[in-house]
Amino acid sequence: MKNTLLLSLVVLIGLVSCKPKDAATEEATTPTADTTMTAPPGYENVSDALAGMYKGVLPCADCEGIETVLVLNPDNTYLLRTTYLGKADMAATEKTGTLRWSPAKSLIVLGGLENSPNMYTVGENKLTQLDMEGNPITGNLADKYILTKQ
């Protein structure tokens, strides 16, 4: 009897915790980028403001760091190269796609990336990676999520 009750409780908790997100909640928490590109203040176009190579070593839970190179091209495409340091068995990966600029939120969104962070706030000669929901990363390592323009 106790085992049946315990099993029922575990199943109930599992079902409640697996409840899908409400669409309205999802829209409110996931930032969307404007599809039209407008230049940041002080620039004629987005390409002039953002184009270039950004580099940094981002924190990694099970390696020495993730060497990250993000190249933003004048035609609003990007190349993202990541290398897991200290993991000889993992080859560097490269992904390409298009980027969108959200002037209202001062961030860029890298299109075509799934299950990985794809949003960065734009600063002077730097990009700061946001978490999967588009929120600033907080905690002791927050300042380690910055890519610097080269």
Q: How far is the C-alpha of 51 from the C-alpha of 66, rounded, in Å? A: 22
Does residue 7 fall inside a structural domain?
no
Q: How far is CA 27 from CA 32, 37, 48, in A?
A: 8, 21, 31
Interval 85-127: pLDDT, tens: 988 888 899 999 999 888 777 889 999 998 889 999 999 899 9
Q: How far is the C-alpha of 5 from the C-alpha of 148, rounded, in Å? A: 56
Please tell me the pTM assigned to this model: 0.69
Residue 91's pLDDT is what?
84
Q: Which residues does the chain have with pLDDT short of 50?
A: 2-36
Q: Which amino acid, one-letter code, is at 18? A: C
Does residue 105 fall inside a structural domain?
yes
Residue 44's pLDDT is what?
52
CATH of the domain at 88: 2.40.128.640
Does residue 9 fall inside a structural domain?
no
Q: How far is CA 142 from CA 58, 71, 139, in A?
A: 10, 22, 5
Beta pairing class for 107-110 and 126-129: unpaired
Domain count, the chain: 1
Residue numbers of the domain that contains 79: 33-149
Q: How far is the C-alpha of 85 from the C-alpha of 30, rounded, in Å? A: 30
Q: How far is the C-alpha of 77 from the C-alpha of 58, rounded, in Å? A: 22
Q: How far is the C-alpha of 45 from the C-alpha of 37, rounded, in Å? A: 8
Does residue 27 fall inside a structural domain?
no
Q: How far is the C-alpha of 123 from the C-alpha of 107, rounded, in Å? A: 9
